[in-house]
Structure 1
Amino acid sequence: MSVTLETDEHKALREAVAALGRRHGRTFDREALWQEAAKLGYLGVNLPEEYGGGGGGISELSIVLEELATAGCPLMLMVVSPAICGTVIARFGTEEQKREWLPGLADGTRTMAFGITEPDAGSNSHRITTTARRDPDTGDWILTGRKVFISGVDIADATLIVGRTADARTGNLKPCLFIVPRDAEGFQRTRIDMELNAAEKQFELVLDDVRLPADALVGDEDAGLLQLFAGLNPERIMTAAFAIGMGRFALNRAIEYARERTVWKTPIGAHQAIAHPLAQAHIELELARLMMQKAAHLYDAGDDIGAGEAANMAKYAAAEACVKAVDQSVHTLGGNGLTREFGLAQLITAARVSRIAPVSREMILNYVSHQTLGLPKSY
């Protein structure tokens, strides 16, 4: 039995979501699961009660995603729609934006994608070239730029786009967030041909003088990175939840197989060459979960600086533990680990996504080197 630092309410939520995941399993229908999870209040568990949410935080939402991933049926749009976009709007949106978007994000009837990555500004948000300028006559915003590797744009009602505006005093560009409707004129998308098998597709976006009303801006034009990282920290925590759940799914399959598969006199799980790597994978997943819980707790408590460090560490630890758990699980099953029956082979690629997105392991190591250890930068 896993020992966690969770409340009784968290444990009850975990058990309930796990039961939902088992009912759907790895052959799940994404839309059907999305609707049922929404009906049960799981999709909006982190959003304010006054706007139809559960009144919880990222702690609760990460439990939902982890348990669905453990059952083999993760809803990746949860990372983007309620976690990033819902959190940003709840914290910084106007009352009108909250009333318009949060109830739909909470009950699953509306979804929102998130657009930050650009072809020439992957990990360097300071190089974002998507710009937003005001029309002096109407007050509208006009967005121009490109984005790449943006998930779920084809099914989302809108995309929360990270652009940059010019500071009137200094002329320096600063990041700002804009809600861009899917059908906005000049908002074009092209699907990227991915070998990764996932329900949510990846797109390249072109914003060709997309005109938006003044109230499309989310939050304060001068807040800059504060608002941006209010969404990126939950993204890292939720990515950790996804990775931990994926690793647990793989490990559970391997443990079950190792208990039953008998080649000589005893099941293969009796041999330390099989048992010890699986035990090590379990330990590392549990350690990653503790860091994820710490990050979620700090974020929900309003400690953005502490949460930033912990969220990066949690994402790093979870990704490494996930890759190791998946690899060891495939090796445990041997040839069966590559069959469709057991559902592990596709995780070999999927597990590595958690290492490179939404931020690479190397950039996390840079963050810890500079921010935590106080070492000088090389860039």
Structure 2
Amino acid sequence: MTLLILIIIAVCVVFGVTDIRRQFISKPIFGFFRKVLPPLSQTEREAMEAGTVWWDGELFSGRPDWQQLHSMPMGELSGEERAFLDNQVNTLLLMLDDYKVVQEQKDLPQPVWDYLKQERFFSMIIPKAYGGLDFSALGASTIVARIASRSLTAAITVMVPNSLGPGELLAHYGTEEQKQRWLPGLADGTEVPCFALTGPEAGSDAGAIPDSGVVCMGEYDGKEVLGLRLNWDKRYITLAPVATVLGLAFKMRDPDGLLGDTKEIGITCALIPASHPGVELGNRHNPLNMAFMNGTTRGEDVFIPMEWIIGGPDYAGRGWRMLVECLSAGRGISLPALATAAGHVATRTTSAYCGVRQQFGVNIGQFEGVQEALARIAGNTYLLEAARKMTVSAIDMNQKPSVVTAIAKYHMTELGRSIVNDAMDIHGGKGIQLGPKNYLGNMYLAQPVSITVEGANILTRNLMIFGQGATRCHPYVLSEMEAVAMEDKDQALKVFDGLLLSHMLYGARNGLNSLVGALTGARFNSAPVAGETARHYRNLSRLSANLALMSDLAMAALGGGLKQKEMISARLGDVLSQLYLASAALRHFEAEGRQHGDLPLLHYSVEKCCYEAAKAMEEVIRNFPNRPLGWLAKALIFPIGNHFHMPSDETAKAVCKAVSKPGVVRERITHLCHMPEGLEDGISEVESAFLALHEQAPLMKTLKQAMRSGVLPKQAISPALIAKAVEEKVLTESQSDSLLNAWVLRTAAIDVDEFATL
């Protein structure tokens, strides 16, 4: 006891007396940090500083404020946005035949192009003062998703001008003269924009673009003016083949010092008319046979005046930050909308197909193997819808959450891919035979497009999510890095000492919370609600403490080398991402009014997220390079093992039951799969058959009973069996007619297209 008291006193003295702590604790650590932390490159610094910290900061805190989550505005579509969906979007859907667009025409029909321009589909982010629709992020997301449920080619065509591109860059950074010159034309479709960033040698590493702009004097409009001599070679540029105005990113240099002493000015963005001499809009690419316009652009020694820099000459060299901030918003709207649309379509059609297709005399939805896949489809779709709405609500709150939008881009597109793969497995042969009846084939082919664009998913997962999150979202790390970089060492040590003490207390709290949470199953963690969902909040708080603790251990052990340990940082990013997705699901459930019918979907999605987060954490610990710290982490985080599991079979069956019958639950989770009256396609066929067979369920039960009693032969239900049932007085003529009508619809739904020639 005496020894313990002496140890406690010593610890209190060392850490409580400022001069002693600073000399023996903070100074050595400060020196170590100064040595091991590499200087941030300019592009890294701009990426770190761009955007804002939002709910991701709470998840990194180790103790999320759940009341803050619940108090966030959910966002609602405005009256104008609802009217646009009900009128212009519905009209557009009736004009689209995705099979013809993709397989035959290889382009949108000219009347569709004209309608998109006429109704200002390309102007959702342009202010009304310049002729735009000025819709919210939620409105733009919902419109793109609804279009994607009918045609991905049309959705991509609409989303690009409303995402990263000249319109957004001009709206945020353009001079008033530039806005007046370009925004009205972009709004009414007179001008079609594209933005050229990616090149043969610079894809995800946009900071490495070789395209150049050299400051020089040149002739423009009959006068010698100061400008830029541009050279570029870009590819994968959506809308480039039909663009009238080109947004261009390049590295700006001033070798002759015409602007001052700085030679390397940095990444800059300019806006150039496609008709300008020297601008070449090249041939089309063929992105997995999708029919949207995508191609190349090149230019050699193209002279432009300085005034064509977006934002004017004052924004020279500020292009990287502009791109990072705008890209983070675009990543949170467009690609998540496509993934969510895939989920809504797959859930609606696959749940219907499970009730229509029969094998071994029963609906395939009764097989547990099919139920397992259908539960994944529906549970992941619930996550997608929740994450979509939560992410766009941040953008509508004027946030620029770069980490959150990176999470949304990576995980939502991966969930979309998983959903479509499961839907294809259930549909079997119907899913792979392309034709007008196939509602999954083009969606399946399109998934790698979303995976690839706006930052390849491997890079997003391995370098961006945790790489930015660990510094931007952590309550102390970025400030400590800035303190270490201060030139005045005495002042730097003083600042660093105060931050380090707070950081150590923060780490101790997270270690204690992790251990107590593991030993008690998080039962004593607080939750903002009571009832069935309370345990989810407690588990997420426990995992948040785990993430905060493991992040500190990783950064302490690896320092700047953590950037090279991509597998470790990717798994830590997975933990953060799963916490975000689960938070979104809980917020969605509350915002929807705690619908009891949605509980199976909520339980499934959150339990899956917790399982995935814990599995990623376990892999971090198992592969941690510093084994003693890895043992410490395991003792604090999983002292009695990892007891998080995938949702139970009973939960999966409850999910399937909720979505396998017509009703409000199925409508809520598939509302983006819109089927206006007058559309006759594969989706309408399978839905009509599903509804008709559901109405005839009592008659189907009557036939089954007659088979069990020996009145009818035991065989699959067919027109011949229905006729036999009439003979045996099991069914009336009227009942027979209604059942036969349902069977005709069923036959149309399970049929596939066939062609005399291809």
Normalising by structure 1, what TM-score?
A: 0.89
Which residue in 2 is equivalent to 1:358? 454
Which residue in 2 is equivalent to 1:240? 336
Amino acid aligned to 1:78: V
1:218 to 303, 306, 310: 310
Identity of aligned residues (%): 21
Q: Give 1:37 deviation, angstroms.
A: 4.3
2:376 to 263, 277, 280: 280
Q: Give 1:14 deviation, angstroms.
A: 8.2
Amino acid aligned to 1:119: P
Say whether the 8 Å CA contact 1:196–1:349 is kept in structure 2: yes
Which residue in 2 is equivalent to 1:368? 465
SS of 1:82's equivalent in the other structure is: coil
- Identify if the C-alpha distance between structure 1 residues 291 and 337 changes in structure 2 by more than 3 Å, giving closer, same or farther: same
Q: How does 1:281-360 map to 2 (within 5 A)?
A: 281-304=377-400, 307-340=401-434, 341-360=437-456
RMSD: 2.6
- Identify if the C-alpha distance between structure 1 residues 300 and 308 changes in structure 2 by more than 3 Å, giving closer, same or farther: same
Q: How does 1:1-379 map to 2 (within 5 A)?
A: 5-9=74-78, 12=82, 16=86, 19-20=90-91, 22-27=93-98, 29-73=108-152, 74-84=154-164, 85-136=166-217, 137-166=224-253, 168-191=260-283, 193-194=285-286, 196-219=288-311, 220-237=315-332, 238-304=334-400, 307-340=401-434, 341-365=437-461, 366-374=463-471, 376-378=562-564
- Identify if the C-alpha distance between structure 1 residues 75 and 23 changes in structure 2 by more than 3 Å, giving closer, same or farther: same
SS of 1:353's equivalent in the other structure is: helix
Say whether the 8 Å CA contact 2:175–2:310 is kept in structure 1: yes
How far apart are the structure 2 equivalents of 1:264 and 1:46?
53
- Identify if the C-alpha distance between structure 1 residues 21 and 275 changes in structure 2 by more than 3 Å, giving closer, same or farther: farther
- Identify if the C-alpha distance between structure 1 residues 185 and 40 changes in structure 2 by more than 3 Å, giving closer, same or farther: closer
Q: Give 1:91 deviation, angstroms.
A: 0.9
How far apart are the structure 2 equivalents of 1:193 and 1:199?
10
Q: Give 1:40 deviation, angstroms.
A: 4.1
Structure 2 gaps of 5+ residues are: 1-72, 102-107, 218-223, 255-259, 472-554, 556-561, 567-758
Deviates more, 1:353-362 or 1:168-177: 168-177
- Identify if the C-alpha distance between structure 1 residues 33 and 114 changes in structure 2 by more than 3 Å, giving closer, same or farther: same
How far apart are the structure 1 equivalents of 2:407 and 2:97?
28
Deviates more, 1:71-80 or 1:51-60: 71-80
Say whether the 8 Å CA contact 1:142–1:210 is kept in structure 2: yes
Amino acid aligned to 2:370: I
Say whether the 8 Å CA contact 2:340–2:416 is kept in structure 1: yes
How far apart are the structure 1 equivalents of 2:149 and 2:138?
17
Q: Give 1:350 deviation, angstroms.
A: 1.1
SS of 2:249's equivalent in the other structure is: strand
Q: Give 1:312 deviation, angstroms.
A: 0.9
| Bigger-Rg structure (1/2) | 2
- Identify if the C-alpha distance between structure 1 residues 317 and 14 changes in structure 2 by more than 3 Å, giving closer, same or farther: farther
Q: Give 1:322 deviation, angstroms.
A: 1.2
Amino acid aligned to 1:191: N
Deviation string 1:223-276 (CA, Å, 9 cap, x unpaired) is: 332211233123312122122223433443323322211223332223332233
- Identify if the C-alpha distance between structure 1 residues 248 and 14 changes in structure 2 by more than 3 Å, giving closer, same or farther: farther
Q: Give 1:111 deviation, angstroms.
A: 1.3
Say whether the 8 Å CA contact 2:350–2:426 is kept in structure 1: yes
Say whether the 8 Å CA contact 2:241–2:282 is kept in structure 1: no
- Identify if the C-alpha distance between structure 1 residues 8 and 164 changes in structure 2 by more than 3 Å, giving closer, same or farther: closer
Say whether the 8 Å CA contact 1:34–1:75 is kept in structure 2: no
Normalising by structure 2, what TM-score?
A: 0.46
- Identify if the C-alpha distance between structure 1 residues 107 and 258 changes in structure 2 by more than 3 Å, giving closer, same or farther: farther
Deviation string 1:73-107 (CA, Å, 9 cap, x unpaired) is: 53313332232221111111111221222222222
- Identify if the C-alpha distance between structure 1 residues 310 and 195 changes in structure 2 by more than 3 Å, giving closer, same or farther: closer
How far apart are the structure 2 equivalents of 1:36 and 1:275?
42
Say whether the 8 Å CA contact 1:21–1:72 is kept in structure 2: no
Say whether the 8 Å CA contact 2:242–2:293 is kept in structure 1: no
How far apart are the structure 2 equivalents of 1:250 and 1:268?
16
Say whether the 8 Å CA contact 1:72–1:249 is kept in structure 2: no
Q: Which has the higher strand share?
A: 1
How far apart are the structure 1 equivalents of 2:335 and 2:84?
17
Deviation string 1:166-189 (CA, Å, 9 cap, x unpaired) is: 374443341111112222222224
Say whether the 8 Å CA contact 2:343–2:384 is kept in structure 1: no
How far apart are the structure 1 equivalents of 2:97 and 2:351?
17
Paired positions, count: 374
- Identify if the C-alpha distance between structure 1 residues 138 and 223 changes in structure 2 by more than 3 Å, giving closer, same or farther: same
Q: Give 1:62 deviation, angstroms.
A: 1.6
